[in-house]
Amino acid sequence: MQQTETMGKLGIIFDCDGTLADSLDNALISFQYALAQIGERPRTQEEIYQHFGISADKLLIEICGNEARGLEAFVHFLYNQRVLAQSTCLHTGIQEMMQSLEYLNIPLGLVTGRHASDLRILLEPHGLIPYFQIMVADNEVLKPKPDPEGILKAANFMGMSASRTIYIGDSPSDIQAAHAAGAGSVAVLWDAHADEQLLRAQQPHYVIHHPSELIGVFQDFQQKQNIPVTDV
């Protein structure tokens, strides 16, 4: 992917799970499937969710307590993710939002806790990959969120400082990472797993309830950066 010149522009960087895709429940199913395939005992939802935020390969290694068994389970996890890919939905309004952002020529990136292989399995059926100038997966950074490494890497590729981007996410670690990077932060509440109280405790710059609100947020961010607002 070729870096593009975006001097003078502002950009948007997205989280994936819970932000773009309603994918957490199907991921849980794939984790249980993978564990069963290698003869591991089932884990509770809470036991698995407490590891969320890192890629599935790392998560399975932590759960299994053994790298070889964790990586073996990861192969089965990816298989089941492919099986479930068509039934893993984007959140209502995401496709329309992405089309609007493309129309406005706003540079877009993605920073996620997913492994790159897992990310493509999720996004390809929905045609989202071409929207992004860069996608930074968990296996492509040294430190996961809330470390700002991924956001800084994405912003640099997009040709701008992180302070000229807003990061969109549904978890406290997303907002923490945005703050650490010096980016604007947008907490989204449309996923069933989003905890409004925990998100607001991180003091995001914006809180929104539907993807259609993002254009207005971006325009407000433009005004605060003293850049003329783009009409929809």
End-to-end CA distance of the chain, in Å? 28
* pLDDT digit string, tens, across residues 63-115: 999 999 999 999 999 999 999 999 999 999 999 999 999 999 999 999 999 99
CATH code at 24-87? 1.10.150
- In which residue ranges of the chain is CATH 3.40.50.1000 found? 11-22+89-224
Pairwise CA distance, residues 210 & 24, whole Å: 18
List every span in the chain annotated with CATH 1.10.150: 24-87
29-73: pLDDT as tens digits: 999 999 999 999 999 989 998 888 899 999 999 999 999 999 999
Q: Is 106:218 a contact under the CB 8 Å cutoff? A: yes
DSSP-assigned letters across all residues of 168-222: EESSHHHHHHHHHHT-EEEEE--STT--HHHHHHT--SEEESSGGGHHHHHHHHH
Angstrom distance (rounded) from CA 116 to CA 111: 10
pTM summary value? 0.92
The answer to whether 17 and 114 are in contact (CB under 8 A) is yes
**Is the CATH number of domain 11-22+89-224 3.40.30.10?**
no
CA–CA gap between residue 189 and residue 211 (Å, rounded): 10
pLDDT at residue 160 greater than cutoff 70: yes
